[in-house]
Amino acid sequence: MPGVLDFSNVTKDYGIPWSRRRIRALEGFTLSLERGEIFGFLGRNGAGKTTAIHLALGFMRPTSGAGHLLGKPFGDAASRARIGFLAENVALYHRPARKLLRYYGGLNGMRPQRLQLRSSEVLRQVELELEANRNVARFSRGMQQRIGLAQALINDPELLILDEPTSALDPLARVTMRELLLEANRAGKTVFLSSHLLSEIEMICHRVAILDKGRLVKLGRTEELLISRDRYEVVARGIPTNSFELSAYSLPQVRGLPLDANLAGDGRVQFTIPAAAQRDALQRIWSLGGEVLSVNPVRRTLEEVFVELTNKGSVL
């Protein structure tokens, strides 16, 4: 069954003017979006994120491979009536906000009565109803970005494709944008979100894909990506501090353990250990008369995962 947005082994090469050289922006890219999810799309500058989005919208053709947007091949105009798109560095015609929204809605074939209603709704959603009659040319960058989001929402789309939607927003506006996306998702919309702001992706995305040099290096549920299988966090109590340190140094597999240890006021000790040293560390704690309170995989930040993957360049 086709997903909301499917890429199937898509490769995209760009030609260089006056040269035979070609730059590969995307290589063998395969991805499928599930209906109703918020999907985070990560990658460094030039990783191929925007190229993938532009391919999905039919702005360019893949060099090889194929893809489907809402069940139709990329480039199908009718399927675009059911999506909302916000471009990175949104460029708008210089018109009053409400008229501009009606224009973009009209391009999707919306009727005037519905446009009247929806333009008021989305202006309220992006908190610009008081600026409805002002020309967007006089808007700040952040306000223009919000109008950009409003035009993406005007047709009540099934799928929202957002390319760096929060790049020009201040922290408060980012919170508003985040709430808007969550609200849209609760209303059943699928959200495809490309962003550099890893903390935001971490907060709201159900699944994440990381792209590096045009290749997909990681794809998975956000929670799973953040959990490290290499290191565990152990919380114990009842270990005499001095013996604990001595014992730690005497245990070859957990060498360096006390360096990570964090002594809490109530006598609890918290430390991380390599997965391979788990059994030895626990036995050592018990042999010293200590009590193991919990052993959990270490939760990393998305930033740590991202840096690790994009520096290493491992391939899925």
Per CB under 8 A, residues contacting other proteins are 14, 50, 54, 57-61, 77-78, 80-81, 83, 85, 87, 89-93, 95, 103-104, 106-109, 148, 151
Enclosing H/E stretch for 149: helix 141-153
Pick 147 or 236: Cβ nearer other proteins: 147
> 12 with 67: CB under 8 angstroms?
no
Contacts of 123 (CB under 8 A, 6+ apart): 97, 98, 101, 129, 131, 132, 150
Pick 58 or 274: Cβ nearer other proteins: 58
Pick 75 or 274: Cβ nearer other proteins: 75
Pick 109 or 171: Cβ nearer other proteins: 109
Pick 189 or 218: Cβ nearer other proteins: 189
Tell me how far, at minimum, the Cβ of 192 lies from other proteins, in Å.
13
**For residue 164, which of 42, 82, 69 has the smallest C-alpha distance?**
42
Tell me how far, at minimum, the Cβ of 57 lies from other proteins, in Å.
5
Tell me how far, at minimum, the Cβ of 121 lies from other proteins, in Å.
19
Side chain identity at 44, as an amino acid letter?
R
Q: What is the DSSP string of 18-68?
A: TSS-EEEEEEEEEEEEPTT-EEEEEE-TTSSHHHHHHHHTTSS--SEEEEE
Tell me how far, at minimum, the Cβ of 78 lies from other proteins, in Å.
6
Instruction: Count the alpha carbons within 13 Å of 306 in the hemisphere toward its beta carbon.
Output: 21
Contacts of 84 (CB under 8 A, 6+ apart): 151, 152, 153, 154, 155, 157, 159, 160, 161
Pick 151 or 185: Cβ nearer other proteins: 151
Tell me how far, at minimum, the Cβ of 107 lies from other proteins, in Å.
4
Enclosing H/E stretch for 176: helix 171-186
Tell me how far, at minimum, the Cβ of 59 lies from other proteins, in Å.
4
φ/ψ of 145, rounded to 5, equals -65, -40
Pick 94 or 312: Cβ nearer other proteins: 94
Tell me how far, at minimum, the Cβ of 54 lies from other proteins, in Å.
4
